[in-house]
Structure 1
Amino acid sequence: MKEIIDIVAAYEIAVKEGKKTALATVVLVEGSAYRRAGARMLITEDGQLTGAISGGCLEGDALRKARMVIMQQEPLLVTYDTMDDDDAKLGVGLGCNGIIHILIEPVNDHKINPIILLKAAITARDNAVLVTLFSLEDRKAPQPGSCLYLTNDQILPNGLAILPYKNELLEDAKNALNSRRSVITAYQGYTAFVECIKPLISLVILGAGNDAIPLTRMAAILGWNITVVDGRPNYASVERFPSAKKLVIAKPEKVLESLEINEWTAFVLMTHNYNYEIAFMKDLLPVNPSYIGILGPRKKLERMLDELEENGAVITERNLETIHGPVGLDIGSETAEEIALSIIAEIKAVFTKRNGRSLKYKTTLIHSI
């Protein structure tokens, strides 16, 4: 999602400067590649690149082809076969061993274009599906490109109505939305990359001490929506937390009134104030957020849960699954920056349903599509 945000921002700058642009999207990968389907890059006519479709080995050639797309105003499907001797030089720097299909679309000033669909995905607070259609069988055939954006409450078609298989495609998009999984499907000589785009993680940090500063900085690099909460206005300030989207100065029982919480919201409690945190936890537990991280030793968490139960709080199995204390992955963290890294890594692993183990022990593909 961070890449999409950067691309949309770069596009808006290009529009203000009167520059023409094209959008390159990795739509299909066969074998191994540095980036998977869904990787994107915006190219301006003067050669500015935002985003990435590889580790740097394909961008130069893609730039040349994108300029042709901008000039002709027609989408183009480009294939790089890094298993072939002639194309191997493109991937040799990364050890790529796969076939990468990239669709390059001109971004014109039509009412709906690929960037409009990406902007809709940014503003959605729920899962969304973006369908990109292309032809592998006949590369001279029209390449429809980004033709549909779908959420539970919004549909943005982009040329979908003229497709003879529009009903099938729409049904497959709805299935992908429900299953929350991207898929590749085929229709009468065309292939569709039906991409499930997940919303940004919203990180709520309870505590505005110095150790919260590197946590907000790292979360900002990932593009997460950051809220910092504290009862002390001199701590929770814009000067100390410039990357926070929102600052909340409140007593613990008033904090939730200021927040919008969904399944993509993560909480990290690091106030170093036990009474503040236990008062907040009393209100937070019934909300059942997807992630609660608590800084400090395990005995602190055990004491907190015992006291909450003694005072009538109901702690469910779901609560125990989502509470992470001590917070973070075990990477040997000591400094505030290292602790922030371990927390960010654990939150990412939880939301992507991964175990946080080293990839060297993974026996299956890193990416499913």
Structure 2
Amino acid sequence: MDTHDIVTHIKNNDSPAVLASLIGVEGHSYRKAGAVMLFFEGGVIGSLSPGCLESDLQLRTNEIWASGQPEVVEYDMLSPDDFSWGEAVGCGGKIKVVLEPVQGELRETLIEANERMAAGENLVLIRELTPEGYSYRLEAGAFITKNTDSPVFSTLLVPKPRLVIFGGGHDAEPIAALAARVGFRLAVADWREGSLQNDFPGAGRVVCPPAEAAVRLGIGQGDYVLICSHQFQRDRQFLESVIPVEPHYIGIIGSSARINLLLEGLEAPSSLHAPVGISIGGEGPEEIAVSIVAEMIQIRRAGARKLPKGVDRVESSRHISGSRTKQKDGSIQGFSEAVAGDFPRERRAQ
């Protein structure tokens, strides 16, 4: 979800920034081609490695910004004999990274992307090398397609998944806070205006009857929904309105007996998690929030509609590769040479 934070930062800040994109991978790599990170004064957003590349990339950013020209750097970590960088845990391949100053057409394109992503749109940022330099365009979609007729590379820009909370009580506050910290956008709906005065930083807020909330918030198939108003009839009305929309995740807080009553006469969708949360024996609002948000993370990472509680189908998601290969210095290539695939011999950074 780094791309959403990156385009938001660019929209809200006009200070110098350099975008680093992973455009080629040979062998093992911590991130796949298309991954991005942003360097700016005072910080970074995202990562391309477990930490073995970022320092070197950051050293190059001032020169990139000053020149106004992109540059491609290649890192070869296939050899186990180079100890110059120390252990590169999680790395063991050859990768290419392009560094681009965020200015001019690129900045304008990313600002447009921010506006479209805020509306929940998946986008592909396509860069194509022309005789005049890079051209940029955005295409709607959730997959990267390669243009084989010209040197291009693409980055998938995916908005953060949205968590819609129905019921703005105090027990929803720690859930909202934790969900926001791990990469969810927030929206809160309630029929009581006073409930929406609680602490839901950055959340969109809608006061309306429960049956209208799904339409008012534009709930769609990519959304996560949590029902926690603790008012039986209103929870039922909201549930009836949201099931036909088929959100990616529906969680209901409450006992099994109460949930059975809520579902009486309704066909439970495969995305329903009730009672909500992974069973960790949590007590109190904060621990229950951990249980609920952990389940949403599990669903998000596994990309599945329904998983047994506590089971993760992505076998490698809890482990960082322990590759013991060592990293070589990043070699700088001419930009047009690298994108076109005409790679020169390595030149060592000093």
Q: TM-score range by the shorter chain?
A: 0.7 to 0.9
Residues 207 and 272 of structure 1 are in contact (CA less than 8 Å); yes or no, is this contact kept in structure 2? Answer: yes
Quick one: structure 1 residues 150 and 6, their matched pair in 2 at CA, closer, same or farther if it must change by over 3 Å? same
- Letter of the 1:106 partner, please give it: P
Match of 1:51 in 2: 46
What is the distance in 1 between the residues matched to 2:314 and 2:86? 21
What is the distance in 1 between the residues matched to 2:188 and 2:42? 38
Match of 2:236 in 1: 278
Q: Per-residue deviation at 1:75?
A: 1.4
Quick one: structure 1 residues 286 and 60, their matched pair in 2 at CA, closer, same or farther if it must change by over 3 Å? closer
Aligned residue-pair number: 315
Q: 1:21 aligns with which of 7, 17, 21?
A: 17
Q: What secondary structure is seen at the aligned counterpart in 2 of 1:236?
A: helix
Deviations 1:317-357 (A, max 9, x none): xx421221111233443342232233223334434524563
Counting only pairs closer than 5 Å after superposition, residues 1-369 of structure 1 correspond to structure 2 as: 1=1, 3-12=2-11, 14-15=13-14, 19-44=15-40, 48-85=43-80, 90=85, 92=87, 94-110=89-105, 113=108, 115-116=110-111, 118-120=113-115, 122-133=117-128, 147-151=136-140, 177=141, 180-182=142-144, 186-187=148-149, 190=151, 192-237=152-197, 240-306=198-264, 309=265, 315-316=266-267, 319-352=268-301, 353-354=303-304, 355=307, 357-358=311-312, 361-362=315-316
Q: Per-residue deviation at 1:246?
A: 2.1
Q: Per-residue deviation at 1:195?
A: 3.7
Quick one: structure 1 residues 23 and 198, their matched pair in 2 at CA, closer, same or farther if it must change by over 3 Å? closer
What is the distance in 1 between the residues matched to 2:280 and 2:93? 32
Residues 49 and 90 of structure 2 are in contact (CA less than 8 Å); yes or no, is this contact kept in structure 1? Answer: no
- Letter of the 1:148 partner, please give it: R
Q: Per-residue deviation at 1:215?
A: 0.9
Q: What secondary structure is seen at the aligned counterpart in 2 of 1:36?
A: coil
Quick one: structure 1 residues 121 and 254, their matched pair in 2 at CA, closer, same or farther if it must change by over 3 Å? closer
Q: What secondary structure is seen at the aligned counterpart in 2 of 1:30?
A: strand
Match of 2:326 in 1: none
Quick one: structure 1 residues 113 and 277, their matched pair in 2 at CA, closer, same or farther if it must change by over 3 Å? closer
Quick one: structure 1 residues 40 and 95, their matched pair in 2 at CA, closer, same or farther if it must change by over 3 Å? closer
What is the distance in 1 between the residues matched to 2:291 and 2:135? 37
By relative contact order (CA 8 Å, sep 6+), the higher-ranking structure is: 2
Residues 205 and 269 of structure 1 are in contact (CA less than 8 Å); yes or no, is this contact kept in structure 2? Answer: yes
- Letter of the 2:19 partner, please give it: L
Q: Per-residue deviation at 1:274?
A: 2.0
Q: Per-residue deviation at 1:250?
A: 3.6
Structure 2 unaligned segments of length 5 or more: list them. 321-350
Structure 1 unaligned segments of length 5 or more: list them. 135-140, 152-176, 310-314
Q: What secondary structure is seen at the aligned counterpart in 2 of 1:235?
A: helix
Q: What secondary structure is seen at the aligned counterpart in 2 of 1:320?
A: coil
Quick one: structure 1 residues 362 and 61, their matched pair in 2 at CA, closer, same or farther if it must change by over 3 Å? closer
What is the distance in 1 between the residues matched to 2:177 and 2:84? 37
Q: Per-residue deviation at 1:74?
A: 1.9
What is the distance in 1 between the residues matched to 2:116 and 2:84? 35
Residues 218 and 341 of structure 1 are in contact (CA less than 8 Å); yes or no, is this contact kept in structure 2? Answer: yes
What is the distance in 2 between the residues matched to 1:302 and 1:133? 55
What is the distance in 2 between the residues matched to 1:181 and 1:91? 36
What is the distance in 2 between the residues matched to 1:133 and 1:332? 52
111-120 or 226-235, which deviates more: 111-120
Residues 213 and 241 of structure 1 are in contact (CA less than 8 Å); yes or no, is this contact kept in structure 2? Answer: yes
Residues 76 and 103 of structure 1 are in contact (CA less than 8 Å); yes or no, is this contact kept in structure 2? Answer: yes
CA RMSD of aligned residues (A): 3.5
Quick one: structure 1 residues 9 and 30, their matched pair in 2 at CA, closer, same or farther if it must change by over 3 Å? same
Quick one: structure 1 residues 255 and 32, their matched pair in 2 at CA, closer, same or farther if it must change by over 3 Å? same
- Letter of the 2:104 partner, please give it: D
Q: What secondary structure is seen at the aligned counterpart in 2 of 1:53?
A: coil
Quick one: structure 1 residues 47 and 283, their matched pair in 2 at CA, closer, same or farther if it must change by over 3 Å? closer
Residues 220 and 246 of structure 2 are in contact (CA less than 8 Å); yes or no, is this contact kept in structure 1? Answer: no
